[in-house]
Protein backbone atom coordinates (compact mmCIF):
# COMPACT_ATOMS: atom_id res chain seq x y z
CA UNK A 1 0.00 0.00 0.00
CA UNK A 2 1.36 3.45 -1.00
CA UNK A 3 1.71 5.90 1.91
CA UNK A 4 0.98 9.34 0.53
CA UNK A 5 3.11 11.00 3.21
CA UNK A 6 6.14 9.34 1.58
CA UNK A 7 5.03 10.35 -1.91
CA UNK A 8 4.42 14.14 -2.02
CA UNK A 9 4.25 13.88 -5.80
CA UNK A 10 0.96 12.02 -5.48
CA UNK A 11 -0.48 14.87 -3.43
CA UNK A 12 0.54 17.31 -6.14
CA UNK A 13 -1.09 15.13 -8.79
CA UNK A 14 -4.29 14.99 -6.74
CA UNK A 15 -4.25 18.79 -6.46
CA UNK A 16 -3.72 18.96 -10.23
CA UNK A 17 -6.76 16.71 -10.72
CA UNK A 18 -8.86 18.94 -8.45
CA UNK A 19 -7.83 22.04 -10.41
CA UNK A 20 -8.45 20.42 -13.80
CA UNK A 21 -11.87 19.14 -12.74
CA UNK A 22 -12.73 22.70 -11.65
CA UNK A 23 -11.70 23.90 -15.13
CA UNK A 24 -14.43 21.70 -16.60
CA UNK A 25 -16.91 22.96 -14.01
CA UNK A 26 -16.02 26.57 -14.85
CA UNK A 27 -16.33 25.96 -18.61
CA UNK A 28 -19.69 24.23 -18.24
CA UNK A 29 -21.00 27.05 -16.07
CA UNK A 30 -19.68 29.67 -18.53
CA UNK A 31 -21.59 27.91 -21.34
CA UNK A 32 -24.65 27.66 -19.06
CA UNK A 33 -24.45 31.45 -18.57
CA UNK A 34 -24.52 32.00 -22.33
CA UNK A 35 -20.90 32.35 -23.44
CA UNK A 36 -20.30 30.64 -26.82
CA UNK A 37 -17.79 27.81 -27.15
CA UNK A 38 -15.39 29.78 -29.36
CA UNK A 39 -15.22 32.66 -26.86
CA UNK A 40 -14.46 30.33 -23.95
CA UNK A 41 -11.65 28.71 -25.98
CA UNK A 42 -10.35 32.17 -26.93
CA UNK A 43 -10.20 33.40 -23.33
CA UNK A 44 -8.58 30.19 -22.14
CA UNK A 45 -5.88 30.43 -24.79
CA UNK A 46 -5.10 34.14 -24.54
CA UNK A 47 -5.12 34.06 -20.73
CA UNK A 48 -2.79 31.08 -20.47
CA UNK A 49 -0.46 32.41 -23.20
CA UNK A 50 -0.28 35.77 -21.43
CA UNK A 51 0.62 34.17 -18.11
CA UNK A 52 3.34 32.02 -19.74
CA UNK A 53 4.75 35.09 -21.48
CA UNK A 54 4.95 37.03 -18.20
CA UNK A 55 6.58 34.08 -16.44
CA UNK A 56 9.14 33.61 -19.23
CA UNK A 57 9.89 37.34 -19.30
CA UNK A 58 10.57 37.37 -15.56
CA UNK A 59 12.72 34.25 -15.86
CA UNK A 60 14.48 35.68 -18.93
CA UNK A 61 13.79 32.54 -20.96
CA UNK A 62 12.93 32.51 -24.65
CA UNK A 63 9.62 31.47 -26.20
CA UNK A 64 11.05 31.25 -29.71
CA UNK A 65 10.39 27.84 -31.23
CA UNK A 66 12.60 25.72 -33.45
CA UNK A 67 10.40 23.13 -35.15
CA UNK A 68 7.59 25.42 -36.33
CA UNK A 69 5.85 22.94 -38.68
CA UNK A 70 5.44 20.47 -35.82
CA UNK A 71 4.56 23.28 -33.38
CA UNK A 72 1.80 24.29 -35.78
CA UNK A 73 0.53 20.72 -36.11
CA UNK A 74 0.57 20.20 -32.34
CA UNK A 75 -1.23 23.51 -31.78
CA UNK A 76 -3.97 22.72 -34.30
CA UNK A 77 -4.50 19.28 -32.76
CA UNK A 78 -4.57 20.73 -29.26
CA UNK A 79 -7.00 23.44 -30.31
CA UNK A 80 -9.26 20.82 -31.85
CA UNK A 81 -9.15 18.84 -28.62
CA UNK A 82 -10.03 21.89 -26.49
CA UNK A 83 -12.83 22.98 -28.84
CA UNK A 84 -14.38 19.50 -28.92
CA UNK A 85 -13.97 19.15 -25.15
CA UNK A 86 -15.67 22.52 -24.58
CA UNK A 87 -18.48 21.74 -27.02
CA UNK A 88 -19.11 18.42 -25.28
CA UNK A 89 -19.33 20.12 -21.87
CA UNK A 90 -22.32 22.07 -23.14
CA UNK A 91 -24.14 18.96 -24.32
CA UNK A 92 -23.48 15.93 -22.08
CA UNK A 93 -22.78 15.31 -18.35
CA UNK A 94 -19.52 16.62 -16.93
CA UNK A 95 -18.27 13.19 -15.82
CA UNK A 96 -18.94 11.70 -19.26
CA UNK A 97 -16.89 14.41 -20.96
CA UNK A 98 -13.87 13.84 -18.72
CA UNK A 99 -14.09 10.08 -19.03
CA UNK A 100 -14.35 10.07 -22.84
CA UNK A 101 -11.57 12.65 -23.13
CA UNK A 102 -9.35 10.47 -20.92
CA UNK A 103 -9.54 7.68 -23.53
CA UNK A 104 -6.44 9.21 -25.16
CA UNK A 105 -4.22 6.28 -23.94
CA UNK A 106 -6.35 3.98 -26.11
CA UNK A 107 -5.58 5.98 -29.23
CA UNK A 108 -1.93 6.47 -28.24
CA UNK A 109 -1.54 2.70 -28.04
CA UNK A 110 -3.11 2.36 -31.49
CA UNK A 111 -1.24 5.19 -33.21
CA UNK A 112 2.17 5.50 -31.55
CA UNK A 113 3.52 2.48 -33.38
CA UNK A 114 2.51 4.07 -36.69
CA UNK A 115 3.89 7.57 -36.00
CA UNK A 116 6.76 6.87 -33.58
CA UNK A 117 7.72 3.38 -34.74
CA UNK A 118 7.48 2.09 -31.18
CA UNK A 119 6.76 -1.61 -30.82
CA UNK A 120 3.40 -2.41 -29.24
CA UNK A 121 2.93 -5.45 -27.00
CA UNK A 122 0.23 -7.97 -27.97
CA UNK A 123 -1.15 -7.61 -24.44
CA UNK A 124 -2.47 -4.18 -25.47
CA UNK A 125 -5.24 -5.56 -27.68
CA UNK A 126 -7.38 -7.21 -24.96
CA UNK A 127 -7.18 -3.93 -23.02
CA UNK A 128 -8.26 -2.00 -26.10
CA UNK A 129 -11.25 -4.32 -26.45
CA UNK A 130 -12.04 -3.76 -22.77
CA UNK A 131 -11.83 0.01 -23.16
CA UNK A 132 -14.02 0.15 -26.28
CA UNK A 133 -16.59 -2.06 -24.53
CA UNK A 134 -16.62 0.54 -21.75
CA UNK A 135 -17.10 3.33 -24.28
CA UNK A 136 -20.04 1.45 -25.82
CA UNK A 137 -21.66 1.02 -22.39
CA UNK A 138 -21.26 4.72 -21.67
CA UNK A 139 -22.29 6.12 -25.04
CA UNK A 140 -24.96 3.45 -25.78
CA UNK A 141 -24.87 3.66 -29.60
CA UNK A 142 -28.11 2.67 -31.28
CA UNK A 143 -30.27 3.71 -28.32
CA UNK A 144 -31.36 6.92 -30.08
CA UNK A 145 -30.19 9.71 -32.38
CA UNK A 146 -26.45 10.39 -32.69
CA UNK A 147 -25.20 12.01 -29.51
CA UNK A 148 -22.91 14.71 -30.89
CA UNK A 149 -21.70 15.64 -27.43
CA UNK A 150 -20.43 12.11 -26.75
CA UNK A 151 -18.89 11.91 -30.23
CA UNK A 152 -17.12 15.24 -29.65
CA UNK A 153 -15.76 14.13 -26.26
CA UNK A 154 -14.49 10.85 -27.69
CA UNK A 155 -12.93 12.62 -30.68
CA UNK A 156 -11.21 15.00 -28.24
CA UNK A 157 -9.55 11.89 -26.80
CA UNK A 158 -8.26 11.05 -30.29
CA UNK A 159 -6.96 14.56 -30.98
CA UNK A 160 -5.36 14.65 -27.51
CA UNK A 161 -3.56 11.40 -28.32
CA UNK A 162 -2.26 12.83 -31.61
CA UNK A 163 -1.17 15.99 -29.76
CA UNK A 164 0.75 13.89 -27.20
CA UNK A 165 2.49 11.99 -30.00
CA UNK A 166 3.52 15.27 -31.63
CA UNK A 167 4.76 16.58 -28.26
CA UNK A 168 6.97 13.50 -27.97
CA UNK A 169 8.71 14.59 -31.18
CA UNK A 170 8.73 18.26 -30.19
CA UNK A 171 10.54 17.68 -26.90
CA UNK A 172 13.60 16.82 -29.01
CA UNK A 173 13.78 20.45 -30.21
CA UNK A 174 11.65 22.69 -27.96
CA UNK A 175 11.09 23.31 -24.25
CA UNK A 176 7.73 22.58 -22.57
CA UNK A 177 6.85 26.27 -22.04
CA UNK A 178 7.54 26.99 -25.71
CA UNK A 179 5.24 24.18 -26.82
CA UNK A 180 2.39 25.21 -24.50
CA UNK A 181 2.77 28.93 -25.29
CA UNK A 182 2.47 28.43 -29.04
CA UNK A 183 -0.41 26.02 -28.56
CA UNK A 184 -2.39 28.41 -26.32
CA UNK A 185 -1.64 31.47 -28.48
CA UNK A 186 -2.70 29.73 -31.69
CA UNK A 187 -5.83 28.30 -30.04
CA UNK A 188 -6.90 31.88 -29.29
CA UNK A 189 -5.98 33.04 -32.79
CA UNK A 190 -7.96 30.26 -34.45
CA UNK A 191 -11.12 31.45 -32.66
CA UNK A 192 -10.92 35.00 -34.11
CA UNK A 193 -12.73 34.12 -37.40
CA UNK A 194 -15.64 32.66 -35.40
CA UNK A 195 -15.71 35.77 -33.19
CA UNK A 196 -15.79 38.03 -36.25
CA UNK A 197 -18.48 35.95 -37.98
CA UNK A 198 -20.79 35.12 -35.05
CA UNK A 199 -20.14 38.17 -32.90
CA UNK A 200 -18.56 38.98 -29.55
CA UNK A 201 -20.35 38.78 -26.21
CA UNK A 202 -18.91 41.11 -23.58
CA UNK A 203 -18.74 38.96 -20.42
CA UNK A 204 -20.62 40.20 -17.36
CA UNK A 205 -19.19 39.88 -13.85
CA UNK A 206 -20.33 36.29 -13.30
CA UNK A 207 -19.17 35.16 -16.74
CA UNK A 208 -15.81 36.85 -16.11
CA UNK A 209 -15.45 34.90 -12.85
CA UNK A 210 -15.99 31.61 -14.71
CA UNK A 211 -13.37 32.63 -17.30
CA UNK A 212 -10.97 33.45 -14.47
CA UNK A 213 -11.67 30.01 -13.01
CA UNK A 214 -10.79 28.38 -16.34
CA UNK A 215 -7.49 30.27 -16.69
CA UNK A 216 -6.38 29.95 -13.05
CA UNK A 217 -7.46 26.31 -12.82
CA UNK A 218 -5.60 25.43 -16.02
CA UNK A 219 -2.38 27.11 -14.90
CA UNK A 220 -2.46 25.70 -11.35
CA UNK A 221 -3.29 22.26 -12.76
CA UNK A 222 -0.26 22.37 -15.02
CA UNK A 223 1.94 23.71 -12.20
CA UNK A 224 0.91 20.96 -9.78
CA UNK A 225 1.18 18.30 -12.50
CA UNK A 226 4.69 19.39 -13.47
CA UNK A 227 5.71 19.31 -9.82
CA UNK A 228 4.17 15.84 -9.40
CA UNK A 229 6.15 14.41 -12.32
CA UNK A 230 9.36 15.87 -10.90
CA UNK A 231 8.80 14.19 -7.52
CA UNK A 232 7.17 10.91 -8.57
CA UNK A 233 7.75 8.34 -11.34
CA UNK A 234 5.39 8.89 -14.26
CA UNK A 235 3.92 5.39 -13.85
CA UNK A 236 2.79 6.25 -10.30
CA UNK A 237 1.74 9.87 -10.71
CA UNK A 238 -0.28 9.29 -13.89
CA UNK A 239 -2.63 6.94 -12.04
CA UNK A 240 -4.12 9.85 -10.12
CA UNK A 241 -5.01 11.78 -13.27
CA UNK A 242 -8.23 9.75 -13.30
CA UNK A 243 -9.20 11.37 -10.00
CA UNK A 244 -10.30 14.27 -12.23
CA UNK A 245 -12.96 11.99 -13.76
CA UNK A 246 -14.39 11.10 -10.35
CA UNK A 247 -14.30 14.74 -9.24
CA UNK A 248 -15.94 15.89 -12.48
CA UNK A 249 -18.72 13.35 -12.00
CA UNK A 250 -19.16 14.68 -8.44
CA UNK A 251 -19.40 18.31 -9.63
CA UNK A 252 -21.92 17.24 -12.28
CA UNK A 253 -24.08 15.57 -9.63
CA UNK A 254 -23.73 18.46 -7.17
CA UNK A 255 -24.58 21.31 -9.57
CA UNK A 256 -26.64 19.69 -12.34
CA UNK A 257 -27.96 16.48 -10.74
CA UNK A 258 -26.15 14.41 -13.38
CA UNK A 259 -26.07 10.76 -12.32
CA UNK A 260 -24.52 7.67 -13.90
CA UNK A 261 -26.76 4.62 -14.26
CA UNK A 262 -25.47 1.06 -13.75
CA UNK A 263 -24.24 0.69 -17.36
CA UNK A 264 -22.49 4.07 -17.18
CA UNK A 265 -20.71 3.00 -14.00
CA UNK A 266 -19.62 -0.31 -15.54
CA UNK A 267 -18.40 1.47 -18.67
CA UNK A 268 -16.42 3.95 -16.58
CA UNK A 269 -14.82 1.13 -14.61
CA UNK A 270 -13.76 -0.69 -17.80
CA UNK A 271 -12.35 2.46 -19.44
CA UNK A 272 -10.37 3.59 -16.38
CA UNK A 273 -9.00 0.09 -15.73
CA UNK A 274 -7.87 -0.34 -19.33
CA UNK A 275 -6.34 3.15 -19.55
CA UNK A 276 -4.43 2.71 -16.28
CA UNK A 277 -2.99 -0.63 -17.42
CA UNK A 278 -2.17 0.40 -20.99
CA UNK A 279 1.03 2.37 -20.23
CA UNK A 280 2.34 -0.61 -18.24
CA UNK A 281 1.71 -3.35 -20.81
CA UNK A 282 2.15 -1.40 -24.06
CA UNK A 283 5.95 -1.51 -23.96
CA UNK A 284 6.08 2.23 -24.75
CA UNK A 285 7.57 5.01 -22.64
CA UNK A 286 5.21 6.02 -19.83
CA UNK A 287 6.00 9.69 -20.50
CA UNK A 288 4.14 9.40 -23.81
CA UNK A 289 0.88 9.02 -21.89
CA UNK A 290 1.26 12.10 -19.71
CA UNK A 291 -0.79 15.19 -20.47
CA UNK A 292 0.74 18.45 -21.74
CA UNK A 293 -2.42 20.57 -22.10
Per-residue pLDDT tens over the stretch 95-148: 999 999 999 888 888 887 776 666 667 788 899 999 999 999 999 887 777 789
d(CA 12, CA 221) in angstroms, rounded, equals 9
Q: Read off the pLDDT of residues 180-236 as tens digits, 9 standing for 90 and up.
A: 899 999 999 999 999 999 999 999 999 999 999 999 998 888 888 878 877 877 667
Q: Which residue has the higher pLDDT, 175 or 31?
A: 31
Phi, psi of 291 (to 5 degrees): -80, 150
What is the pLDDT, as a whole number, of residue 125? 87
If we measure between CA atoms, which residue out of 218, 239, 208, 271 comes closest to residue 21? 218
Read off the pTM: 0.90
Q: What is the model's pLDDT at position 291? A: 56
Q: What percent of the chain has pLDDT over 70?
A: 90
48-62, 133-147, 169-183, 274-288 — most confident range = 48-62
pLDDT in the model for residue 288: 56
SS3 call for 191 = coil
Of 94, 102, 109, 111, nearest in space to 157 by CA = 102
Amino acid sequence: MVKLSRHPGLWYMFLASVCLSLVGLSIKYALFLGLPVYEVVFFRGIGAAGCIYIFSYRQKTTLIGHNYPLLLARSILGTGSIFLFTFALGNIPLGDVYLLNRTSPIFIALLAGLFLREKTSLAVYPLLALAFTGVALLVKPGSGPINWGSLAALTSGLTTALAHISVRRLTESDQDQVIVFHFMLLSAGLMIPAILFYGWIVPNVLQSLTIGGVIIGSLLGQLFMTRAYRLEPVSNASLLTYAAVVLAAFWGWLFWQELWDFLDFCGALLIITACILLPTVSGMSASLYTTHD
